[in-house]
Structure 1
C-alpha cells in the first residue's frame, strides 16, 4: 500500500566494490514539480540522464538536489587517434625539404613525431562500467529518502486529519446557528420596524416581504452543504494512495472561498467567531498540505 509522502527528506547511499566506491546524497524540498539538480565529479551526460530518469520514476514532486561521488574508479579511457591529414602533410613537407636541400638522412618515425597534432589523445567516459555501481547506490539513497518522506508524510496526515475533524465540528455548530439566524433576524427586523412605525399607516405585507428577502440573502445553508462535501473529499484524499498534494491545495482554496462567503453573509457574532476559528485551522492545513507530494 502506497503512503502519502512529504516532499521534504534526505537520503544517502554508499556502495564499495573492488573497482571503486560510490557515494550519493539526496535532499528534497517543496516544489510544484519534480525539479532535479545533479552535481558529480565526472562528466557524462548519458549517466546524468539515467540518474534523472530513475529519480523521476520514484519521486513525483519536489526540488531534488543530488550529489554523486565516484572514487578510485577508472572513469576514463584514453584513446590515441591518428590525424592522417596532418601526417600526410608532414611527410610531404619533410620529403620536399630533403629533395630541395639534398639531405642524406632518411625520413623516420622520429622525424614525424616531432610534428604536433599527428596524434590526438581522447579521453572517453566508461559509462557502461560505472553505471551499474551508480544505479545500485542511487536506489539505496532513494530508499532512504522515501522512507524519511513517508515518515514525515504520516505525521502530516495525522495533524491534518485532526484539524479537519476540528473544522467539521465548527461547521456543525455554524449550521445550528445558520438554521435559526434568518428567522431570528426576521423577527427582530419586524419588531424594530413596528416600533418605529407605531401609529403610522404602513404596508405590513411589504415590510414582511423585505424582511424575508434580506433573511434569504443572509442564508448560508448552501455554503454549509458545500463545505461538508469538501471536507468529505478531503478526508478521502487522506486515505488515497495517489499523489494528493495539488488536490489538497485546490480543496483548501475552495473551502476558504465558502468560509469567506459565510463570513460576508452573516452579522451574527457567534457565526463570525466560528468563521475565524475555521479560517485559523484551514490556514494551518494549507501550510501542511503544501509539503505533501
Structure 2
C-alpha cells in the first residue's frame, strides 16, 4: 500500500457566532515542509497543530490554513470612547466641519479602537482540533486514492520490464552465437592460421567476460523485491527509489555487456519503463 504526497482536505466548523474553515494541501517534497496560516488569536496553538499535522502526513510540501468568519454579533474590537472624544475636540478646535465627517477621521487615528485579548475557550479549541482531524482524514484518503492509481501504474511497468527481461533471456543464446561467429569471421578476415585450441580458449574467455547471467538473476530479484515492498503495509517511497537504483544498475550492465543490437533495443525499452517509474516515485510518500 502506498500513499501519494499530493492531496487536499477541508473541514468546516459552524459555531454560534463564527464559522471556522480548515484547509490542508500537500505536494511532493523530499522532506516535511509545513507552512501554516491562521489568525493571531490561535497562534499560541501553532506548535500543537504543527505536531499533529507532521505526525499524520509525515512528508511533503504542506500548506495548512485556518480561516475564521464572524457570523454573529460577537466582536473583540471596541471603540475607545475617551480617546475618540478627545480627538473630536481637537479637530473641532482646528476646523468647523460636519460632526459625522470629523468622527470618521477620529476613528482612524491611533488607539481609537481597542481589541480585547481573550483566552481561547477550551471547548471551542477541542472542536477545532476535531475538525483538523477530519481535514487530515480527508487528505489522507485523497493520498490513498492517488496512491492506488500510482501502485497500478508501477505494477504495469514492472510487468513490462519482466516481459522485456524474458525476451532478453530468450535471445541470449542467439547473442552468444552471434558473438562467436563475429569473432571467428574477424580471425578469418585476417587470413591467419590459428591454433584452434587456443582460439577456443580465448573465445570462452571473451564470452564469459560478456556473460549476463548474474545480471539477469539480480534484476529479476530486484523486480520481485519492488513488488513485495509495494504490497507492504507501510508506504516508503524512498525505499522504492533505492530499489529502482539497483534495477537501473543491472539494466545498464546488461546493455553494456550485450554487444548485440536486438538485445540493446530491449535494454532501451527497459530503461524507458524504469525512468517513468522513477518520475512517479517522486510523488510517493
Single out whichever of 266-275 and 66-75 deviates more from structure 2. 66-75
Q: What SS is found at the alignment partner of 2:284?
A: coil
Moved over 6 A (4+): 73-78
Alignment match, 1:290 = 282
Within-5 A mapping of 1:58-77: 58-72=56-70
- Decide whether the 8 Å contact of 2:36 with 2:65 is kept in 1: yes
1:224 pairs with 2:216: yes
- Decide whether the 8 Å contact of 1:20 with 1:71 is kept in 2: yes
- Decide whether the 8 Å contact of 2:76 with 2:116 is kept in 1: no
Alignment match, 1:189 = 183
What's the CA shift for 1:210? 2.0
- Residues 78-136 of structure 1, C-alpha deviation per residue, up to 9 Å, x if partnerless? 9xxxxxxxxxxxxxxxxxxxxxxxxxxxxxxxxxxxxxxxxxx9835426454213211
Q: C-alpha distance in 2, partners of 1:266/1:282?
A: 19
Alignment match, 1:152 = 146
- Residues 37-63 of structure 1, C-alpha deviation per residue, up to 9 Å, x if partnerless? 101112544411111111122112211
Alignment match, 1:172 = 166
What's the CA shift for 1:176? 1.8
CA root-mean-square deviation:
2.4
Q: What SS is found at the alignment partner of 1:26?
A: strand
Q: C-alpha distance in 1, partners of 2:266/2:58?
A: 37
Structure 1 unpaired stretches of 5+: 79-120
Q: What SS is found at the alignment partner of 1:70?
A: strand
From 232, 241, 252, the equivalent of 1:249 is 241
What's the CA shift for 1:138? 0.8
Alignment match, 2:81 = none
Q: What SS is found at the alignment partner of 2:50?
A: helix
Alignment match, 2:134 = 140
Q: C-alpha distance in 2, partners of 1:41/1:190?
A: 81
Alignment match, 1:126 = 120
CA separation of 1:217/1:205 partners in 2, compared to 1, >3 Å: closer, same or farther? Answer: same
CA separation of 1:187/1:17 partners in 2, compared to 1, >3 Å: closer, same or farther? Answer: same
Structure 2 unpaired stretches of 5+: 79-114
1:48 pairs with 2:42: no
- Decide whether the 8 Å contact of 1:245 with 1:292 is kept in 2: yes
What's the CA shift for 1:243? 1.9
What's the CA shift for 1:71? 3.5
- Decide whether the 8 Å contact of 1:41 with 1:70 is kept in 2: yes
Alignment match, 1:270 = 262
- Decide whether the 8 Å contact of 1:26 with 1:145 is kept in 2: yes
What's the CA shift for 1:233? 0.6
What's the CA shift for 1:77? 11
TM-score, normalising length: structure 1:
0.77
Q: What SS is found at the alignment partner of 1:219?
A: coil
- Decide whether the 8 Å contact of 2:8 with 2:26 is kept in 1: yes
Alignment match, 2:99 = none
Q: What SS is found at the alignment partner of 1:14?
A: strand
Alignment match, 1:207 = 199
- Decide whether the 8 Å contact of 1:75 with 1:130 is kept in 2: no
- Residues 252-278 of structure 1, C-alpha deviation per residue, up to 9 Å, x if partnerless? 111111111111112211110000100
Q: What SS is found at the alignment partner of 2:22?
A: strand
